[in-house]
Amino acid sequence: MDLPGPNVHVFMTEEQQYEFLKLLAKVISKDYEFGSTFQEESWSIVTNQMQRMNPHLSVAHLKAKLRIFTSKYWLFSTLLARRGVQWDRRTNSMTYARPGVWISYSLEYPKGYPFRYEGIQPRLFDAMRDVFEAGVAID
């Protein structure tokens, strides 16, 4: 079977994204210690599992998706750490104590614009936290 190249966008459903993050977290918790680096062998394991859900995925696609998740997680976590910012996980909506909170954030982090009114889906955010707060370098 011919797989699309890494520069071709491969759609992942929210469920596939969630499963990808949970699989990464599982491999990390099982095989890695804080401060270690994710190995290519582990990428093969993750890719083989994910290809059962979406046969068009490759290691390059999953690494690209992880880079997007890394950026989103960092931007959103930075926003949540600001005073005057509240995230309602139930409705996935954002509120700001005053307009200046959003304005200062958006000037400092222009790529954070998607979070003006809506956060990351809570279960995806929790799965991202499990991966990115494990202290394992992944690339």
The span from the CA of 14 to the CA of 129, in Å, is 16
Residue 15: per-residue pLDDT: 95
Report whether 138 contacts 90 (CB < 8 A).
Answer: no
Report whether 103 contacts 129 (CB < 8 A).
Answer: no
Tell me the sheet residues that pair with 87: 94
The CB-side HSE value for 14 (13 A sphere, CA atoms) comes to 6
Give residue-wise pLDDT tens across range 31-88: 888 888 888 899 999 999 999 999 999 999 999 999 999 999 999 999 999 999 999 9
Residue 127: per-residue pLDDT: 96
Asked whether residue 128 carries a pLDDT value surpassing 50, the answer given is: yes
Give residue-wise pLDDT tens across range 3-34: 445 455 678 999 999 999 999 999 998 888 88
Report whether 24 contacts 132 (CB < 8 A).
Answer: no
Residue 1: per-residue pLDDT: 42
